[in-house]
Amino acid sequence: MMALLHFIIAGTPKCGTTALWAYLKEHPEICMATIKEPSFFSSEKVGELNKPKLMEETGAWMPLMPGRFFRGKTWYESLFKHCHDKQKRGEASTRYFSGPSSPELIKSTVSDVKLIFLLRHPVERLYSQYWQELRTGLKMPDFIDLVTNNHPRFQYFRQVSAYKYQLERYYEKFPTDQILVLLNMDLKQKPLETVQQVFEFIEVNSTFVPKSLGKTFNPQVAPRYPALQRAVMRFKARYLTHIPVGILPYSRPIMKTIRRLNLKKKKQSPPPIPQNIRQQLAHYFEEDIVYVEKLLGRDLSTWRT
């Protein structure tokens, strides 16, 4: 089966991967893994990227779940048992974009796979991830304090937005014709044209039109009981990957139900980033912006404002 994994949506977080995943799922010639974010091509363990004590104090677990490469190919293959032989098989795991072990694991396991990356204004992406984690129960300082004090969680957010470094890791291992880099703003402003570009890239009927185009995915949420949300996340990080494979189909719906009942839609948008902080961060990502401009042949001057 591993030779029949045709493509991976490999990131980036908070850039529209859920929407793209949903669009591709509708295509009759495509079969997606039964779960989004299987994180199979990652061998990192909880605590390897942040010290355990620091994670306890801040509530900032990174990674929130350990990588699942240890589960083996049989487990991964089980995510595609519903697929037909003629369908193109794919999955979406945003942690591959910045996961230290991911490029090598993907290369050594499915060397001919096609990789799809979605990018967004690096400062807005970073800020969106901060608010997502804050609203799902993690304890973190005010954003200005997070940036000013170079908080460990901010260092992680910044690392994910380091597009030049992260993409070069993949271009060093894969030929350019196996990599497609897209912009989140294109997926929003011209979704049909963008998704059909993906269809063409993975060699399926590119005239197909998904019915869910324009639908809002991952709406802003906030926990009714933050302590409960943190408890669920700690349980997942510590114990869920040790649950026997046969029990997982029963444990996962329980965890999802708890999460769904504890989260409510948040109508209020995050406050704007203070101009001085935005300029500071935009300056930090200048090298990444220039890199993406050259890579795509696009003017991304809006990313500097």
Counting as low any pLDDT under 50, the low residues of the chain are 1, 47-63
Q: What is the pLDDT of residue 64?
A: 53
Q: What is the pLDDT of residue 44?
A: 79
Q: What is the pLDDT of residue 52?
A: 41
Q: What is the pLDDT of residue 28?
A: 97
DSSP string, the chain: -GGGEEEEE---TTSSHHHHHHHHHH-TTEEE-SSS----S----TTSSS-HHHHHHH---SSSS---GGGHHHHHHHTTTT--TTSEEEEE-GGGTT-TTHHHHHHHH-TT-EEEEEE--HHHHHHHHHHHHHHTT-----HHHHHHTT-HHHHHHHHHT-HHHHHHHHHTTS-GGGEEEEEHHHHHHSHHHHHHHHHHHTTS-TT---TTTT---S--EEESSHHHHHHHHHHHHHHGGGS-TTTHHHHHHHHHHHHHHHEEE--SPPPPPPHHHHHHHHHHTHHHHHHHHHHHT---GGGG-
Q: What is the pLDDT of residue 56?
A: 43
Phi–psi pair at 116, nearest 5 degrees: -120, 130
Instruction: Classify the phi-psi angles of 299: left when phi > 0, otherwise alpha if psi is within -120 to 50, otherwise beta.
Output: beta
Q: Are strands 114-119 and 88-92 parallel, antiparallel or unpaired?
A: unpaired
pTM summary value: 0.83
Phi–psi pair at 210, nearest 5 degrees: -65, 140
Catalogue all structural domains in the chain, each as residue range(s) with its CATH number: 2-304 (3.40.50.300)
Q: What is the spatial distance between Cα 273 and Cα 215, in angstroms, rounded to a whole number?
A: 26
Cβ neighbours, 10 Å, residue 293: 14
Q: What is the pLDDT of residue 139?
A: 76
Q: What is the pLDDT of residue 67?
A: 84
For tokens 């990227």, the residue is 49
